[in-house]
Structure 1
Amino acid sequence: MAEPMDITNDPAATPAQRIEALRVVAADEHFPSWVPESNNHIHTCFSFSPYTPTHAALLARRAGLRVVGSVDHDSIGAAAEMSEATSVLGMGSVTGFEIRARFGEGTPLAQRKLNNPDSVGVAYMTVQGVPAPAREKVAEWLAPGRAARLERTLAMAERANQILTDLGLEPFDPQADMVGISQYANGGGITERHLLAAMASALIRGFGRGPALTEGLAQMGVEIPASLAAVLSDADNPHLMYDLLGVLKANYLDRIYIQPTDELPSAAEVVAFADSVGAIATYAYLGDVSASPTGDKKAEKFEDDFLDELFEHMESIGLRAVTYMPPRNTPEQLARIHVLAAAHGMLEISGVDINQPRQCFTCEELRRPEFADLNEATWALVAHEALSSVDPSLHLLGRTGRLTPEALAERISEYAPLGRAIADGEDAVALAARATSIN
């Protein structure tokens, strides 16, 4: 019989089984004190991650986080489970999804690389704070794009398998090794990471572990960052597949990548849909970056040379929020984003990517005093999601229009305590009676 701890992270179990196992684990565990920061950008097995929503919530609690957010690619599938798991653990949650969109159509932005290393004129966006009654509608809206992305990824798998065959290695089975490790059948998304996980596993099987693997990769022309050479040649590395996946994503994906076409909505369509269901659409700022510690991004220039123009366009299509990851950016980049967000009346949301086992759920940068507002904004989002599930007029930003910086700060200061009250177990219906509508 499986132990409750194993069940919390068993993607083959049902969400109800995982939640029940979590109750057993939580009853016997002594958790650490809360830390002040939040994390709004956790991926689960409903896109690509080693964690189910329940287990992600548990690991976040073990790290001391009291509020987390899930944003799976092209999927809202984790939302209900994440919300229930965090409730069991006395935490707050913000749920939504991440999506790629055509950006800047009819402007020079459409010809520029924005925050997406793989495509020009395509941007990553998140939609956060999705009210619970809207989840089914969100899943229906995402379904055609999920299906189209699956077909495109299967076509890329053919290219990957041709490379493996040419190397004299055994190809992988796309259905078993790529689709089979996903939650696609349960509303989850398929991403390039599923493909690269299958390819990485095939390369490890074919070349073997240890120096033989790095020698084989060198023969393929895979550039291995100096910071990852040791872990890739370590035969006992328990995270080898994830480490190799990151290197392939940064330095090899372009050899098999097929650009998306009609599977992508426009950014304006994402904003309009988010507004229609009472959620909050954001642009995910990346900024010019150095190589990432996990190897999945190489040093590259992104939006910083045209950031003013970008924010003007964001406002013109109705975007009212921007999200970013403080560990990735310099103090100068963060200060500039803060100034531009205030100038354009945009809510600032923070988070740190969680999609592989080496990553830490906490973000110590957010413990610094200058980032206190980001943590308060997260608690306000907790209240937004819960209260607007009761009464759509209680949207944090209002269903339409744009708040002044002063009005936005006042709104966050009103909603953040309500978000904490929800984490404390207070009833959302009762709290809704205390909140004020701005429409």
Structure 2
Amino acid sequence: MTSPAADLALLNHPDRATRLSAAERVGAALKAGTLRRETSDEVNCHVHTMYSFSPYYPAMAAWKAIEARLLAVGIIDHDSVSGCHEMLDAGASLGIAATAGFEMRVSFAGTRVAGRKLNNPDSEDIGYIAIHGLPRRAFTEAKAFLAPMFAARNKRTWRMVEALNALIVPLGVPALDFARDVAGISQAADQGSITERHLMCALARRLLESAPEGQALLTLLRDRLGVAVPAKLATLLADQSNPHRVYDLLGVLKSSFLDRVFIQPDAAECVPVARAVEFGNRVGAIPVYAYLGDVGESPTGDKKAERFEDAFLDLLVEEVVNLGFKGITYMPPRNTAEQLARLQRLCRTHRLFEISGVDINSSRQAFTCPIILEPQFRHLVDATWALFAHERLANHDPDLALFSPANPLAALPLDERVAAYAAVGKRIDPFRPDAVAHLVPTRSNRGSVVG
């Protein structure tokens, strides 16, 4: 019999069955009071896992959310749904509300915002969107939908490895092997995506192997690779005891080196935005545009100060509505109060669902987002509970998807529909999240039924 501490460590074991078995035992310990849990009202609907890039498998991500006192957590991996079953299963075992979806890059060519840099620092015409609220019954179809993009991205990443080797080998840095050093640190064998972060992580590891001593590493970066290292990050990178050193170096490389080897994705990898939105709507999910906004100082150190959507935001939001998006997702800690107030005003005007979360790519990042408890953002907590209810109800009956025309509450204004679904979400037992038949909202009860 394992101890609670051992079971917690097993939540990040390479074997999925081992992780989920450990989650069941940890959940039992929580129920028995052997492990104690403190909660706040915080939620986070935008957590990456090892199925894109993160230090955490989904089961561990669910536990980290509990450690952070969250009441709900959502998995959003890039170009992959391979971790979604695990997140929902682990959430049910651990007793935390869990949601699922994926993030992807799409082409905005041919739209009214074509030719602009949207929310993607690397490319014009290509933007990030999220398919939130993906019902479990749609996971297999989503995996098939993403498969061609997964294959195209891997081919492009292989070419970037070749371009990278052409730069580092003449400097005496050993070459990277795509299969071993890049794909090998991903979950590609289970259709987990290989991202630019994997490429930069592989390079970071190679540089640390070549120059482990702090000053030698900084010399290699600045003098031989020509990478600008901000003073704060230079201090962190020089510290060999820094437990986040690989992630800190990855952030520097992504911000100041990636563009030298970056190859633009093609149409096979970034499908037309209308096609992606149509898919999300058809399977009963909630397609949303991912707002970035003009960037000053990046909280993760991997984005340069740069202008994005703010100069044409009104037009963009109009086009988002025209394309069939149902909402906008954003991360309050990334933006100014003025940016957020403007975005929220546009969402209200155009009746767009608002979703929030803070992406987790590094061991340095916290799962918490205290700003969400401030009055201006408190509605995002209810939106999360509505999202949780939407997924479970839509999986029970497709007509109960929040935006389904056949939804019994379809005639209600969006804010009333969200409030009704939030009421349902708060009544769902997180240990038995699929038991929702008695909680179906109607025009008469609007989510007020207590089973």
TM-score in terms of structure 1 length: 0.95
2:334 to 325, 328, 338: 328
The within-5 A match list for 1:294-313 is 294-313=300-319
Deviations 1:336-385 (A, max 9, x none): 11110111110000000101100000101011122111000000000000
Shifted more, 413-422 versus 333-342: the winner is: 413-422
Distance 1:376 1:405, change over 3 A: farther
Q: Are the counterparts in 1 of residues 102 and 131 from structure 2 also a CA contact under 8 Å?
A: yes
Q: Are the counterparts in 2 of residues 39 and 352 from structure 1 also a CA contact under 8 Å?
A: yes
Q: Distance in 1 between matches of 2:349 and 2:9?
A: 48
Counterpart residue number, 1:209: 213
Counterpart residue number, 2:366: 360
Any unmatched runs of 5+ in structure 1? none
Distance 1:433 1:67, change over 3 A: closer
Distance 1:370 1:207, change over 3 A: same
Q: Are the counterparts in 2 of residues 100 and 264 from structure 1 also a CA contact under 8 Å?
A: yes
Cα drift, residue 173 of structure 1: 1.8
Distance 1:355 1:299, change over 3 A: same
- 1:64 equivalenced with 2:65 (yes/no): no
Q: Distance in 2 between matches of 1:227 and 1:113?
A: 29
2:116 to 112, 125, 150: 112
Q: Distance in 2 between matches of 1:282 and 1:405?
A: 21
- 1:193 equivalenced with 2:197 (yes/no): yes
Any unmatched runs of 5+ in structure 2? 447-451
Counterpart residue number, 2:259: 254
The within-5 A match list for 1:10-49 is 10=13, 12-14=14-16, 16-28=17-29, 30-49=35-54
> Structure 2 counterpart of 1:23, which letter?
E
Distance 1:44 1:239, change over 3 A: same
Counterpart residue number, 1:165: 169
Q: Distance in 1 between matches of 2:54 and 2:165?
A: 23
Shifted more, 412-421 versus 73-82: the winner is: 412-421
Shifted more, 162-171 versus 52-61: the winner is: 162-171
1:371 to 367, 377, 381: 377
Counterpart residue number, 1:123: 127
Q: Distance in 1 between matches of 2:412 and 2:138?
A: 30
Q: Are the counterparts in 1 of residues 392 and 436 from structure 2 also a CA contact under 8 Å?
A: no
> Structure 1 counterpart of 2:172, which letter?
G
- 1:6 equivalenced with 2:6 (yes/no): no
Shifted more, 217-226 versus 43-52: the winner is: 217-226
- 1:385 equivalenced with 2:391 (yes/no): yes
Q: Distance in 2 between matches of 1:37 and 1:405?
A: 30
Q: Are the counterparts in 1 of residues 93 and 431 from structure 2 also a CA contact under 8 Å?
A: no
Cα drift, residue 230 of structure 1: 0.5
Q: Are the counterparts in 1 of residues 52 and 80 from structure 2 also a CA contact under 8 Å?
A: yes
The within-5 A match list for 1:216-365 is 216-219=220-223, 220-262=225-267, 263-365=269-371
1:154 to 149, 152, 158: 158
Cα drift, residue 293 of structure 1: 3.0
Cα drift, residue 106 of structure 1: 4.4
Q: Distance in 1 between matches of 2:410 and 2:213?
A: 57
Distance 1:282 1:316, change over 3 A: same
> Structure 2 counterpart of 1:36, which letter?
D
> Structure 1 counterpart of 2:181, which letter?
D
Q: Are the counterparts in 2 of residues 390 and 432 from structure 1 also a CA contact under 8 Å?
A: no
Distance 1:426 1:52, change over 3 A: closer
Cα drift, residue 431 of structure 1: 3.6
Distance 1:404 1:324, change over 3 A: farther
- SS of 1:369's partner is coil
> Structure 2 counterpart of 1:436, which letter?
T
Deviations 1:130-165 (A, max 9, x none): 111110000000000001000100100111112120
Shifted more, 412-421 versus 425-434: the winner is: 425-434
Q: Are the counterparts in 2 of residues 8 and 52 from structure 1 also a CA contact under 8 Å?
A: yes
The within-5 A match list for 1:389-408 is 389-399=395-405, 407-408=413-414
Deviations 1:56-103 (A, max 9, x none): 000110110010101000001111110111111211111000000001
- SS of 1:164's partner is helix
> Structure 2 counterpart of 1:216, which letter?
L
Q: Distance in 1 between matches of 2:9 and 2:316?
A: 45
> Structure 2 counterpart of 1:246, which letter?
G
Q: Distance in 1 between matches of 2:21 and 2:361?
A: 24
Shifted more, 111-120 versus 410-419: the winner is: 410-419
Q: Are the counterparts in 2 of residues 345 and 404 from structure 1 also a CA contact under 8 Å?
A: no
Cα drift, residue 212 of structure 1: 0.7
Q: Are the counterparts in 2 of residues 280 and 320 from structure 1 also a CA contact under 8 Å?
A: yes
- SS of 1:221's partner is coil
> Structure 1 counterpart of 2:261, which letter?
I
Q: Are the counterparts in 2 of residues 47 and 183 from structure 1 also a CA contact under 8 Å?
A: yes
Cα drift, residue 427 of structure 1: 5.9
Q: Distance in 2 between matches of 1:364 and 1:146?
A: 34
Q: Are the counterparts in 1 of residues 88 and 98 from structure 2 also a CA contact under 8 Å?
A: yes
> Structure 1 counterpart of 2:12, which letter?
N
**Matched positions, count:** 434
Shifted more, 429-438 versus 93-102: the winner is: 429-438
Cα drift, residue 267 of structure 1: 1.1
Distance 1:191 1:413, change over 3 A: same
Deviations 1:206-245 (A, max 9, x none): 1223111011100111011222110011121121111111
TM-score in terms of structure 2 length: 0.92
Q: Distance in 1 between matches of 2:406 and 2:433?
A: 27
Q: Are the counterparts in 1 of residues 94 and 431 from structure 2 also a CA contact under 8 Å?
A: no
> Structure 2 counterpart of 1:151, which letter?
K
